Structure formats: structure tokens, C-alpha cells
Chains A and B, each alone.
Chain A
Amino acid sequence: MGRYLLRRVIQVPIVLWILVTATFFLMRYTPGGPFDMDKQVDPAVKAQMEAKYNLDKPMPVQYGLFLWDLVRLDLGPSFKNKTMTVNEIIAAKAPASAVLGLYAVVIALVLGLGAGVVAGVRQNSVFDYGSMTVAMVGLAVPTFVVGPLLALVFGIYLGWLPVAGYEGMDGLRYLVLPAFTLALPFAARIARLARAGMLEVIHQDYIRTAWAKGLSEQVVVLRHALRGAMLPVVSFLGPAVAQILTGSLVVEQIFGIPGIGREFVQGATNRDYTLVMGTVILFGVLLVGFNLLVDILYGFLDPRIRYA
């Protein structure tokens, strides 16, 4: 286990290097540059601006400079936001995304696992059909419909919750609608996966043995079956975290939350190379981290998987 983990940890910088290299060149070779505007900039002035940001240098030099800065953990200045460095932007925006994402993950796990496990144990019951129907609504209706409708009902008609904005940790009210909107499709997926996993496990012989031994339902479900049911869920969690981050692009936009998702989208459309690189790196680190975590969890839940 220790050696396996060590190897995975050594992999991390390689994964990140490939990621940043791919992103660097994809971004640079996408048509349009950071200083293209609808009012054509005089070529002389444009050249001055490109010189200021080293964009006039040959591509390998730019790449080298970028890597050197990256090693020193300096993501460079933002091309668009002239008064801040990318490090500062990420430091300023990451908390909002993190809090929103965390909220959403918790909501999705609690709702999804709860509904999925109960539905699995009580297969074909009213609760099973009911919760699975709700889960399907969650899967079938896009976030960009749920969000505005929730805002309309709870914000405009009932006036209970704010429709947009972010006030840090003091204003968790502001995050209720966005977090719920973000969590809904993931809660639905988790519920379905948990139910499927539960059904898989519940018919296994060792569970039947446990039943036969006369153990109470709670004990069987919680101590024996749940671990098995968690497997597909856990394996979904890695990508789910990634998708929650992606999903936050829409949710941050709809609810006006100053997070990384909005920065990424704005960066990509503005060809703010450094900002895009910064957000992608952050994203990559998070993903690699979560995938590693999932692997460890997986091994913990199913000891049969050996780390040879």
C-alpha cells in the first residue's frame, strides 16, 4: 500500500506537466489573442502590448518562461485584470467555489446515499419508486432550468432567499439555492448508483448468510451491505467532484457567485492565457488529488484489491 501510494504521488507532477503542456499549446493555437478587440488595435500598439507580456518571443521561449515561473509557483500576471496576478485571483476566488462545491457534495451525498440505500433495501416499495422518480427528475432537467426556477420561486415569489451574490462565510443564505441546484443531478446519480450497488450486494451469499444468522436489518445493511453499495458510488465520486467543479460554471453564472468557474470561462473567452493556465492547474491538482483519494477509499472498502 505504501509503495503504491508513493508511486501515485510521484505520478502527480508528471500528470500535471502533461496537462499544463497540452493546455498551453491548445490555448496558444486557438485563434484570436488576448489583445484582439472589435476596435482594431494599431499594429504598433499591439506589438508594444505583446512585448509587455512576452508574447513576442518564440513559442518555445514562452513555454520555457512559463514552466520556470510555474516551478516557482508564480502563475504570472492576468492579461485581462491588469491589477492582479493570477495567484491573487485564484486566492480571492477559490474560497467561493470551494464553499459552494463542498456544500453541494455534502447535499448530494446525504440525499443520494440516503435515498439510494433505502430504495435498494426496500426494492419495489413506494419509497423505491418515489425516490427513484425524483432522482430521475434530477437527472432529466438541466441545471440551467432548475436554477432559474428555484430563484423565481424562492427568491422572487416567496422572497425567502437571495437570488444572486456572495457574502463569504457570513452569508451562507446566499449559497442555499446555488448549492442545491448544483447538487441535484449528483444526488440523483448517487442515489441510482447506491441503489444498484445495494441490490448487487444484497443478493450475495454472505449477506444472505447474515440474514440467516438472524442479524437485524440495521446491522446487515449498515455493517455489511453498505460497504459494497459504496463501491460504485466511490468510483463515481472522483469524476463527480470534477463535474461539480464544471457544473459550477453554470451555477456561478446564474447566481452571480465570484468563483473559479466564472474565471475560467471568462479567461477562455478573453484568451487570458495565464488565468486559464492557473485555473486549469488548480482544477488538475484537485482532480488528481481526488482520484488518489478515491483509490485509497476503494482499497479500504474492498480489501480484496491489492496494491501489488
Chain B
Amino acid sequence: MSGPGGPGAAAPAPPPAAAAPSAAGPRKGTSLWADAWKRLRKNHMAMLGLWVVVAMSLVSALAPWLVLFDPTYEENWIGAQAPGHRHPDVLTKNVLEVGQPAEVAAGQRAAGEVVFICDETVETEYRIAVRRGKVSDVQRAEGAIKLEALDASAAGDALVEVLEDGTRGPRLEGVRVEKGAPLPEAFGARGRSAVLFVRHVEGARKRVEYRATLVDGVVRALARDGAPVPRAELSGRDLLEVSADGRPQTHAHPLGTDLKGRDLLSRILYGGRISMLVGIVATVVSLLIGVVYGAVSGYAGGRTDDVLMAIVDILFAIPYMFLVILLLVNFGRDIVVLFIALGAVQWLTMARIVRGQILSLKEKEFVEAARMSGTGPAGILFRHLIPNTMGVVVVYTTLTVPAVILQESFLAFIGLSVEYQGQSLESWGALVKAGVDSLGTDGSRSWLLLWPSFAMAATLFSLNFLGDGLRDALDPKQRGRS
């Protein structure tokens, strides 16, 4: 690189790295990379980054063997629950029929006796809007049906308010809400404008116990509150408790669940698989094409350079998003198409950067020296020039992996999430996007944004720190200085 005084003002020393691969002979064990590793180990941030990347990769790669939940399995009645939520371990529909195999969660099939505590109370949800101090709107939540009044004054009936976090308020018995009238006092002070959700509970609350005796998973006997019944189909949402041979059966979601009651931890681990895979494969594709292309173009110069760079210009001038969208639309959104599409876009920048480096490197004296000592163009290119671009290439690679992961998330944002053989794959990007959308104005459900973002950011962060560390470690001019 040139100093301010022009080509002659400074005499850059031949970068040792250029000679490193070949010079490894005389001083075995202190090759560039061994040396770099030594230096890298002293860089705590980079090492931390390395370990995080390794750990994330391992955990993601091993997700199918680590994870307890199917990341796509929906338990819609649970909905979005905060980290640490526990609930009975049940299926959406639990079917017990005497003489038939029990359709229950895996943990209960092997048991001898399974007990389900079921809430069979009939409940209907209503939305009550209060405007200017009076009830303006009473509507059944299901089917958006308008009512003139909501009457829970029958014996045993009650209204239960559903609080904002989904839990229940106290029972209000004998209450009647009428359109046009003020809200009954039992609800307390509400201000002039308010909305509340209530469940109308018909009759007394009914807790029913189902006791099933299983032999080899087949139902032998079934009783409802002690009386034998032939069959029962129990909805997951109605079940309050389940035990198998006296042991309570529950599920825990360490990172909570999403809007459809899917386990967030499982989704993050599986999402990591997709994001990492896309990031790494696309980057390798771009690296291979970009470095060779850029180096050849820069070194050859002249007409070849013009033609090669004109091609890059043309490809650059095709709007990247357009290219990827069209490719995904035409060839489907299979992950392989995505590798190619993203990789094929990324190599352009790599090629330009490498070419830029080569353009300035090839004027240097050490290249001239190599040429005079009879090294052919290929030798100069691959043994002297390309190794010298590695610093920038490594830095740019560490920028590319996160960039590709981000670009994949951009595609997820516009609805083009990846698929593999028809199965929709949800990457971190898709999870983060879902998290942004479900984040409440008051900050509610923040875990849906926080944890996927954290996983993604931690990985990208680590990659970047690692890249910086590598850059410092590989910097040939520092070699031997420490």
C-alpha cells in the first residue's frame, strides 16, 4: 500500500505471510496458523466467541437428540406462556375407550393407572365494552354475536373475569350485565371507557375425575367419578391435573411457549440448525467463488479484469432481493435453492474486495521479486497474493456468515421462509419476526422476542469477536512481534 509520497516514498517490507506456506519448512511448528492460534488463545473475547460458536453449533446440530418437544407441536389452549410455565402433560385430545389402546401422552401409556382431573364446566366467553360510563356492547367472543344482556343470575351461574394475563378473577354470582346500563358494582371501578372479558360459568363448577386402568397401554377399565363408563374423549384444555401411578404428569417450558403453545426452547434450538446451516453453507459457496474470481480478475488486469468486473457489475445491478425472490418463486423455497441463491449473491462483494486487495498488492516489490525468480502467474496468485488477502478475507467472512443469517431472516420477514421437502423450516429469523409481531405495546410477551434474538445475536456476536480475534492473530505484520 502506498504512502502519501507516492510509490517511492516508503519501501514496504515483503509481507512474511506471503512466504509463510512455503517457508514453513525451515521452522517447523511456527507456521503462520500455529502462531496465529497461539495469539488467538490470548485473546479472551475471541476465545469466548469461539466457544460460544462451537457450543451453539453443537447444541443446534444435536437438537433432535436433546430436545424433549417437537418444535411444531401445538398446544393451542395454552397459548403464549412465560418462561418456566408448567402444565399437565396431555394431548389435544385424550381418548380412553375400554378395550382400545389409550390415546394419551407418551409418559402415561406405560402406567398401570392414569387419573385425569377434568373441568367439565360449560363456559362461554364474552366481551363487554363500556363507553362513557355505560355498557355499550356485549358480544359473545366466539362468532362475534351481539347480545342485549348477559345474565348470570340463574342459580349456580357466575361470571368470572378473565384478567389480562389470562388468569381468572373472582367469581361474581348472580350478576346481570345489560346494554345501556352502568356496569354492575361487583366489577369495581372501571373508568368511563373500558373493556373486560368475562366467562359465563353455567351452574356450579364441575371437577370430574376419570380413572383408567391400563394393561400394556390398553384401557381395561374406565370410571368417571367412580362410575364405570365405556369411553371418554378429554380435551387437553379441560384437563387440570393428570397423574400416572400416583405421579403427577407435567410439562415444563423453560423458555415459555409461543402464541400457539409451542415450546420456545425447542423452537430456538431447531431454528439454530436452520440459521447456522444456511449461514455456513452459503458463506462457503460465496468464499470459494468470490476469492478465486476476485483474485484472478485483479491479477490478470486489463481486458480480463474489465470483462470479469463488468459481469460482477451486471450481477450487482440486478437487485439482490429481486433475484432471490424470483429464484425462490420459480424454483420453490427449498433450502438448497436458498444456499445457492444467497451464496450466489454474496460472492460478488467478496470478489470485489479481493480484487481491490490484489490490485494494490500486485504492484509490490515482493511480487516483482517472485516473478523475477521465475514463479508462474498461478504460483504468484495462489502462493503470494491470495494468502496476503487472508486478513481481509477472514474479516469479511466473519461478516458474511452473520450477514447471510440476517438475509435469511429478511426473507423470513417477507414471508419466504425456508422449506425442506415441503416442511416449513423456522429459522431464528422467522422466530425473531414472530417475536416482534407478538410483542405487546406494553412490552408483554417479550420472551418471544428476547430469547430468539438473544440466541441469534449471541451467535452473530461471537462470530464477529472470533473474526476480529482471527484477524489480529493472522495479521502478518504482528508476527514475531509478541
Main secondary structure of the interface of A (DSSP, over half): helix
Within 8 A of A (CB), among B404-436: 406, 409-410, 413-414, 429, 432-433, 435-436
| Interface pair B316/A238, CB less than 8 Å apart | yes
| Interface pair B457/A140, CB less than 8 Å apart | yes
Smallest Cβ-Cβ distance to A207: which chain B residue: B3
Q: Does A107 contact B (CB under 8 A)?
A: no
| Interface pair B399/A192, CB less than 8 Å apart | yes
- Which chain B positions have C-beta within 8 A of A129? 45
Q: Known contacts A140-B456, A142-B406; is A304 also within 8 Å of B313 by CB? A: no
Smallest Cβ-Cβ distance to A234: which chain B residue: B356
Q: Known contacts A142-B409, A192-B395, A298-B356; is A136 also within 8 Å of B317 by CB? A: no
A46 to B135, CA, bound (A): 52
Q: Does B321 contact A (CB under 8 A)?
A: yes
- Which chain B positions have C-beta within 8 A of A48? none
Partner of B3, one of A18, A23, A142, A206: A206
Main secondary structure of the interface of B (DSSP, over half): helix
Partner of A205, one of B11, B326, B414: B11
- Which chain B positions have C-beta within 8 A of A156? 441
Smallest Cβ-Cβ distance to B1: which chain A residue: A228
Over the window 23-40 of chain A, the binary record of Cβ atoms lying under 8 Å from chain B Cβ atoms (1 yes, 0 no) is 100110111000000000
| Interface pair A196/B330, CB less than 8 Å apart | no
Q: Known contacts A142-B410, A304-B363; is A291 also within 8 Å of B464 by CB? A: no
Over the window 246-277 of chain A, the binary record of Cβ atoms lying under 8 Å from chain B Cβ atoms (1 yes, 0 no) is 10011000000000000011001000000010
Partner of A206, one of B9, B439, B456: B9
Q: Known contacts A139-B460, A145-B449, A204-B10; is A302 also within 8 Å of B436 by CB? A: no
Over the window 446-482 of chain B, the binary record of Cβ atoms lying under 8 Å from chain A Cβ atoms (1 yes, 0 no) is 0001000100110011001100100110010110000
- Which chain B positions have C-beta within 8 A of A203? 475, 477-478
Smallest Cβ-Cβ distance to B460: which chain A residue: A140
Smallest Cβ-Cβ distance to A8: which chain B residue: B306
Question: How far does the Cβ of A227 sit from chain B's closest Cβ, in whole Å?
Answer: 7
Question: How far does the Cβ of B474 sit from chain A's closest Cβ, in whole Å?
Answer: 11
A129 to B43, CA, bound (A): 12
- Give how many B residues have a beta carbon under 8 Å from the other chain's beta carbons: 70
| Interface pair B329/A288, CB less than 8 Å apart | no
- Which chain A positions have C-beta within 8 A of B432? 142, 145
| Interface pair B1/A302, CB less than 8 Å apart | yes
- Which chain B positions have C-beta within 8 A of A236? 349, 353
- Which chain A positions have C-beta within 8 A of B65? none
| Interface pair B4/A223, CB less than 8 Å apart | yes
- Which chain A positions have C-beta within 8 A of B457? 137, 140-141
Partner of A30, one of B11, B330, B413, B414: B330
Partner of B10, one of A16, A205, A284: A205
Smallest Cβ-Cβ distance to B302: which chain A residue: A308
Smallest Cβ-Cβ distance to A145: which chain B residue: B436
- Can you sample 18 A-B contacts with CB below 8 Å? A11-B310, A18-B314, A139-B399, A139-B402, A140-B402, A142-B406, A144-B433, A148-B439, A205-B10, A223-B4, A224-B4, A238-B352, A249-B414, A265-B414, A291-B313, A302-B360, A303-B6, A304-B2
Identify 11 new A-B residue pairs, CB closer than 8 A, beyond the known A18-B314, A148-B439, A280-B318.
A11-B313, A22-B318, A132-B468, A140-B461, A142-B410, A144-B436, A199-B472, A204-B477, A206-B3, A242-B316, A264-B319
Nearest 6 Cβ contacts at the A-B interface: A206-B10, A206-B3, A140-B460, A284-B317, A140-B457, A203-B477
